Amino acid sequence: MSFVRHLVYSRWLFHHTKPLSVNTSILFSTTRSSMTIMPAWVIDKYGSNDVFRFTKNASFPVINYPNEVIVKVQAAGLNPLDVNMRGGYGAATMSMKRDPLNIKQSGSEFPLILGRDVSGVIMECGLDVKYFRERDEVWAAIPPWKQGSLAEFVVLSANEVSHKPKSLSHTEAAAMPYVATTAWSALVNTGGVSKDNCAKKRILILGGSGGVGTFAIQMLKAWGAHVTVTCSQNAERFVRGLGADHVVDYTAGPVEEPLSALEKFDLILDNIGGDTERWALNLLKPWCGAKYVTLVTPFLQNTDRLGIADGMMQTAATVATKALKHLVKGVHYRWGFFAPSGPALDEIRELVDAGKIRPVVEETFSFSQVPQAFEKMEKGHARGKTVVQISKGGDDL
């Protein structure tokens, strides 16, 4: 049994061995009726930075399922996805996830709260939640179809939440869950690596100096892999400091030339996309299970452009064609996606508390500076994550 499976099993066992305090399956919403509003940054339509609106009257999250928890947000982490979602990216797929039967009117997602990472304290538990208690310190990556963490409170499924590493402050912890669970999903679930099989693997990370890359380098090094990274020259020292064994500067010319002079790889994680697909699969060891996993996929663009049905058909046809084309050459072509996972974060917490992975915080903003944080993210390359401190709620506004 893999360690994550073991963790899932432990959570299940915990869940099923503790007696239920209330013997009913109907009374699962225990949200205190006295709290109906909270401070939050919301958007009421998609657009550029001027769509942000601060309100003290956002709807307080409600526990709708017995396995949900309400978290009081201490710090929120921002990702490139938040900037893209503000502009409407992925709206068709997110609407489908929120309202699968398509009952609600278009625009029912507004007012929408962004923010994919949270570190905070459990304020309330649904009646089936046994693994967490009120006042537990937790961290989580929030699925993009749910209301985000740029608010005083957020509701999540207990399966998405994990106890926060004790060695990190809330601000540091909020820099990690989304990139960590994305890298985990791509490398472990899709790429097939684990702490038990990584030791002699040669792994290439295209775009190693951003949020996903900096996490991936540290986790793979903690598991004993040999890690090669591409990034700009001024990020070289930084990625070497995180453990990268070999660094190739993409600003010095086409990276495929220096990379093809190296011994071939067992796994490639592509955070860049576009042109990379033309040459990167030639860098894999053929006929020995080597995989190329890209995080840059056209899935959300296709559904935004063509609608859900046609977009999914187009996406399935594209990935199947590419996978087949490369399979005949003896290498595997895969798409990686973010997947929320409390059990993965449980395992990542062990690595963090053992000092093997550290958060990379680029800049910290106060809750009143959310629009400035987005502006800064849009402007340039980050060496880590942008974090917003929310512990004071809306008091500074």
Ligand X SMILES: NC(=O)c1ccc[n+]([C@@H]2O[C@H](COP(=O)([O-])OP(=O)(O)OC[C@H]3O[C@@H](n4cnc5c(N)ncnc54)[C@H](OP(=O)(O)O)[C@@H]3O)[C@@H](O)[C@H]2O)c1
Q: Which residues bind ligand X (CB under 6 A)?
A: 79-80, 179, 182, 206-207, 209-213, 230-232, 235, 250, 271-272, 295-297, 336-338, 381-382
Q: Which is nearer to ligand X, 58 or 176 (CB)?
A: 176
Q: Which is nearer to ligand X, 153 or 335 (CB)?
A: 335
Smallest distance, ligand X to C-beta of residue 316, A: 16
Smallest distance, ligand X to C-beta of residue 78, A: 10
DSSP string for residues in 241-252 = HTT-SEEEEGGG
Q: Which is nearer to ligand X, 316 or 354 (CB)?
A: 316
Bridge partners, residue 248, by sequence: 230
Alpha helices in 328-363 (DSSP H): 342-353
Q: Which is nearer to ligand X, 153 or 178 (CB)?
A: 178
Q: For residues 77 and 45, is the Cβ–Cβ distance under 8 A?
A: no
DSSP string for residues in 359-392 = --EEEEEEGGGHHHHHHHHHHS--SSEEEEE-TT
Smallest distance, ligand X to C-beta of residue 94, A: 12
Element spanning 77, H or E: strand 68-78
Residue nearest to ligand X (CB): 210
Q: Which is nearer to ligand X, 225 or 229 (CB)?
A: 229
Smallest distance, ligand X to C-beta of residue 327, A: 21
Quick one: 185 exposed, middle or buried, by C-beta within 10 A (0-12, 13-18, 19+)?
Answer: buried
Residue 352 is encoded by which pair of tokens?
A: 């963090």
The phi and psi torsions of 205 (rounded to 5 degrees) equal -115, 115
Smallest distance, ligand X to C-beta of residue 278, A: 13
**Between vectors from CA 319 to CA 203 and to CA 278, what angle results, nearest 5°?**
55
Smallest distance, ligand X to C-beta of residue 206, A: 6
Smallest distance, ligand X to C-beta of residue 149, A: 16
Q: Which is nearer to ligand X, 118 or 179 (CB)?
A: 179
Tell me the C-alpha distance between 343 and 377, whole Å.
Answer: 29
Smallest distance, ligand X to C-beta of residue 162, A: 18
Alpha helices in 223-333 (DSSP H): 236-241, 256-260, 276-279, 299-306, 308-327
Tell me how crowded residue 13 is: count the other CB atoms within 10 A of its CB.
12
How many whole angstroms from its chain centre is CA 385? 12
Q: Which is nearer to ligand X, 232 or 372 (CB)?
A: 232
Smallest distance, ligand X to C-beta of residue 41, A: 20
Smallest distance, ligand X to C-beta of residue 128, A: 28
Q: Which is nearer to ligand X, 279 or 337 (CB)?
A: 337
- Residue 285 vs residues 224, 344, 374: alpha-carbon distances, Å: 19, 28, 40
Q: Please name the amino acid found at residue 62.
A: V
Tell me the C-alpha distance between 345 and 173, whole Å.
Answer: 11
- Within 8 A by CB and 6+ apart from 316, the residues are none
Q: Which is nearer to ligand X, 222 or 235 (CB)?
A: 235
Using the 8-state DSSP alphabet, how is residue 162 labeled?
E
The number of residues in the chain equals: 397
Q: For residues 77 and 86, is the Cβ–Cβ distance under 8 A?
A: no
Q: Which is nearer to ligand X, 193 or 248 (CB)?
A: 248
